[in-house]
Structure 1
């Protein structure tokens, strides 16, 4: 095996392992959602296991300004991508490569018809619908908000032979969302405290349960298939070399 073949071998091996690892992570999220009973906020007092609650978001102390839409929110997630395409072949479809992504959350209150829960978001995972979406092909079309803090992006350094896409999702006061985790009965300003210790990480999402499961399951299956194909290809290659 020469140097070029060795580099290719390692790249395929690493790619396959990463795809399978990502798939396992997604499948674990699906299992967390499916295995978490949906209960009202008041019912969490009697539960020591991980459960799912849903309710309306109320701001607690601080709020955030979303980077793209500049909206008051308690959580945001943005992704900046650029298009890649073989310009010599106009029939090729555009593919998108992520340049930058980030999410940020602050603590908030969740309210349903039975009570309120204090949601401590430190260490939580979020999955948001990207309702805000811009695709631009020149610097004059870029939303003015994305050139400032916290997005570390300078449009003047971008080659507009390709296109840019900005996507953003937010959780705003008044939104109806779901939260999964383990709750305690300690009261904070007449609210239940949300427990997000290292064993019980919160999962916060703004879609219905079935849609969230489908959004996680589809890329998980695809990643598992492609990762397995990569590894099987390497096994077959090694066997042929040995024989």
Structure 2
């Protein structure tokens, strides 16, 4: 606003930034955006130091126009922890004692999320223990089923069923085999019952007694003949003709 005597006159002055200044502002804005992206990527990599997250953070950090020493140091720490994180993931996937031991040794050296990684390995240990227990239970159930298949009795069948019921998630194959054993036992019992009924309905045939049905003769203790009656002095005892002939005795000419 300007005054000349009693007259006031307003004028607008337009100030335009130079191209260099505009370029400077744009560069600063871009640098801030790049810095923000690098910080975001780095935080993600620190929280979850996988190879993928590390590569993304490394790309963002190296794209900064101004060297950021803090970012580079943090990135180096992430790089050191990538193999540790990978080992933990592998232990979770494989769930073997070898992988667990390897991951545990590396986690002891971790500088990022050490407590969280240790808890994850504790969960892995629990799953391995449960897995080993389940494997032992399955082995015991399989052994019981095999025994029942070899000797299909009610006792062996009941033992097999009890072992199968102990399995946390069941076992369709062993259950099917146990059902087959039950059917075999039922069939055996039915066959035995039929045989018993048939035996009860069939009269027994007496076994012939050769001593009762065979021809009887009389002999003496010192004689060489067998007789069909007492024909002289001496003590006569009865015996079968077969026994007398076996002793070498011949028939008495007076009796026969």
Identify whether the pair has TM-score above 0.5, normalized to the shorter chain: no
TM-score (norm 1): 0.19
Structure exhibiting the larger radius of gyration computed from Cα positions: 2
Q: Which has the higher helix share?
A: 2
The structure whose residues are more often strand, as a share, is 1
Given the two structures, how large is their TM-score scaled by the length of structure 2?
A: 0.19
Tell me which of the two structures has the higher relative contact order, counting C-alpha pairs closer than 8 angstroms and 6 or more residues apart: 1
